[in-house]
Chain A
């Protein structure tokens, strides 16, 4: 309960205070009281959060509390699982609030956290390493005995019922560069690794059937690959306030559809992500309620169902749509002028240039001229905020596994340019907004799915986004790592994992025995190279001595 009060602390700037203030009864008023109280407190005085009443959060007994919400808000349980609601003891808050804790000492709660979990942070130097050690006061938790389909076959239930955590000490080291990081992983000094673009071809190969497999060299080391689609959506947004690509007129809609067909995201995934991604059919990524797979989940405005999978419609279809929109062959029918589209982004570096070139090529397929306006991150954000960007790339990572967390990005009252919300495309549709208001407060079920289907259909028809892609994460783990399962939402999966430390030591010793003779050979070569110099010096000295004697 104390942590809920802390959300309103004027010095902490909790990013969810505004949102929670709308739902938790009395939190907004509590925050205002805190603001007022803080203004009148002398500098360095402790702001007692328990002095003021908070109607919406009450402790009933030692293990029970009650939070009172305004209206129905099913997503609230997900917020409770996030770090914002991690319990903070009042005495810890009071301790770190003392004057002089930060100045010159840097003693802060986020640096020296207090908690009750399976691990405690014993070294916290994010610039070098963070060490977590088994918490001797952890209440204890057994490894799950049930799992999802296939978990038992994958060996994930072998430790069922055993007390967690299994690992005594976990060390996170900061590696800023991918090359030393990768080499240390191959040496066995890191247990897990991602795959960078530089090393992708050394690690992964695609079979003739298009399946993913590890290369022979990596397999020999006993390294295993896990893949998972992230609960994220990367998209190209159309600014719906823009007079050319925006609005809900048929002309603008067909132009957006034509661009959506021409933008070959499958090719983009192949070129820029080494195939690590899934072309999106809508805003909701796989794994989130509301997502539909297969034919029923296909965006029929951009794809056809061919041979059991979606296939992007041909460029000729996009050109036809463009002509119907009043831009035959990429030119305005009335004036004959070429249609110029502007893309805003931060296309920096060699890859940014390649991406920009690729985009220009995509638009050129339907004879549209694309001008890439690359700028710095601040100006780009400002353009989107003011609604002056025409096309832009954005992404969204799920905060919690509920479709509302993706569908709200099309909610009219959350327009970025008009209301400073998360609807960056500034899309508005009365029917969609009405359905959203219903869906956000519903529990998962058939009725909710049906409404979501309708909302997705509206979005596909209006096309405020070109439905980009859902990134795919590839993770490698050594043979001595057990109980590892991808989970894109939970951050507390360390306690489930187990390491065979003996195997790790044996493999490290096998892979990394020092090659001393090469060093000795190099030193010998250096000495040999110096011999002529020494001989020459001695010869000169002798000659000099003789000259002096004469």
Chain B
């Protein structure tokens, strides 16, 4: 069958296969850069000394540590090996190849299985990031539509000023101020911590509320700009002329037609929700993935660093593909080819 006559789903599958194949060199490139940057700052000897401690570390113990973990090989090219071994018998190859099968190996610091750690730590991160994302999106879009509705009026004017003020304040201020006000002065929820199952809600309320408030300024203002562009289009005038209520015009027609720029920023972030937020998790003592990478960098734990960078890249690529797919759902005129 000629390509022009393919059904739409076949175009999409073809497109997705191509995007997945594109991802391989991208991931390889990310891996090379991570590897290069890490070993530009740290040597395998540094890693060994960091893991073995600062006291009574002998050259012999450093040598053994490297030998057991395969860090006694050359970094990129093994000039002493023969044939393909010049490339495969290197730290880069031996440490990178398994990651493409999502086998992240063990952490250098404590020998724990990285895959297991990621699987157990991603849920607390997700438990905060998901409500912040969903409730936040609803809140920001609603506020932006309201400002668009009252455009030019004092409510719009006050909203824009508040948005500019809100986005000018550091996220850290919201966290510290929120903890002080809501937890210390009003004693409504715990300042920090995390619980399993149903007990988790009381710990999640504050970081979620603060997460939403911290993002309201920039997001509501951005969405307001998008909606204002749409609100003067002909189809909006037609909808009003039909006698539709302004709410219906905004929430049905304007919102629907403004979805492409909204999806561009939003869908790509969905897979990354699992990776968490460093500052939020740190201040609220949430045992998520946010601090896992930073701790690994501080501990010079290359195994965890490369796994997290790789995972971040994979999730970002997935987010971009999902964004493309979401375009076709939001706008039937968009076709993936």
- A and B associate: yes
A interface, CB within 8 angstroms of B: 10-11, 13, 15-16, 18-19, 102-106, 108, 110-111, 125, 127-128, 173-177, 179-180, 183-184, 186-187, 189, 376, 378, 381-382, 399, 420, 422, 512-516, 518-519, 532-533, 536-537, 540-541, 544-545, 548
- CB <8 Å contact, A378 and B41: yes
User: CA separation between A382 and B47, bound complex, in Å?
Assistant: 12
Chain B residues with CB under 8 Å of A381's CB are 46, 49, 54
- CB <8 Å contact, A13 and B65: yes
Any chain A CB within 8 A of the CB of B55? yes
Add 5 more A-B contacts to A180-B284, A378-B43 (CB < 8 A): A16-B56, A18-B61, A173-B193, A174-B285, A174-B287
- CB <8 Å contact, A128 and B187: no
Contact of A102 with B285 at beta-carbon distance under 8 Å, contacts A19-B56, A378-B46, A533-B150 already known: no
Q: How far is the CB of A409 from chain B (nearest CB, A)?
A: 11
Q: How many A-B residue pairs have CB under 8 A?
A: 128
- CB <8 Å contact, B291 and A513: no
Chain A residues with CB under 8 Å of B192's CB are 175, 177, 180, 184
Q: Which residue of A lies closest to B106 (CB)?
A: A102
Q: Which of B112, B187, B190 contacts A106 (CB 8 A)?
A: B112
- CB <8 Å contact, B179 and A515: no
Any chain A CB within 8 A of the CB of B64? yes
Chain A residues with CB under 8 Å of B170's CB are none
Of A10, A128, A187, A540, most buried by chain B (CB within 10 Å of CB) is: A128
Q: How far is the CB of A470 from chain B (nearest CB, A)?
A: 19
User: CA separation between A422 and B193, bound complex, in Å?
Assistant: 40
Chain B residues with CB under 8 Å of A422's CB are 55-56
User: Which of B86-94, B113-121, B317-325 is found at the contact surface with chain A?
Assistant: B113-121
Q: Which residue of A lies closest to B159 (CB)?
A: A533
Contact of A183 with B113 at beta-carbon distance under 8 Å, contacts A420-B59, A533-B155, A548-B243 already known: no
A-B contact pairs, 14 of them (CB 8 A): A18-B58, A18-B61, A104-B116, A125-B287, A177-B285, A180-B179, A184-B192, A186-B184, A420-B58, A420-B59, A422-B55, A533-B146, A540-B246, A541-B246
Q: How far is the CB of B162 from chain A (nearest CB, A)?
A: 11
> Chain B interface: which size bin?
35 or more
Q: How far is the CB of B192 from chain A (nearest CB, A)?
A: 4
- CB <8 Å contact, B185 and A183: no
Any chain A CB within 8 A of the CB of B53? yes
Chain B residues with CB under 8 Å of A16's CB are 56
User: CA separation between A173 and B187, bound complex, in Å?
Assistant: 20
- CB <8 Å contact, A15 and B179: no
User: CA separation between A381 and B282, bound complex, in Å?
Assistant: 29
Q: Which of A15, A174, A533 contacts B53 (CB 8 A)?
A: A15
Contact of A519 with B116 at beta-carbon distance under 8 Å, contacts A378-B46, A548-B243 already known: no
Any chain A CB within 8 A of the CB of B283? yes
User: CA separation between A176 and B41, bound complex, in Å?
Assistant: 26
Q: How far is the CB of A47 from chain B (nearest CB, A)?
A: 14
Chain B residues with CB under 8 Å of A189's CB are 190
- CB <8 Å contact, B282 and A177: yes
Chain A residues with CB under 8 Å of B191's CB are 180, 183-184, 187
Q: Which residue of A lies closest to B65 (CB)?
A: A13
User: CA separation between A125 and B46, bound complex, in Å?
Assistant: 27
User: CA separation between A103 and B65, bound complex, in Å?
Assistant: 19
Any chain A CB within 8 A of the CB of B42? yes
Any chain A CB within 8 A of the CB of B82? no
Contact of A536 with B150 at beta-carbon distance under 8 Å, contacts A108-B112, A541-B246 already known: yes
Q: How far is the CB of A549 from chain B (nearest CB, A)?
A: 9
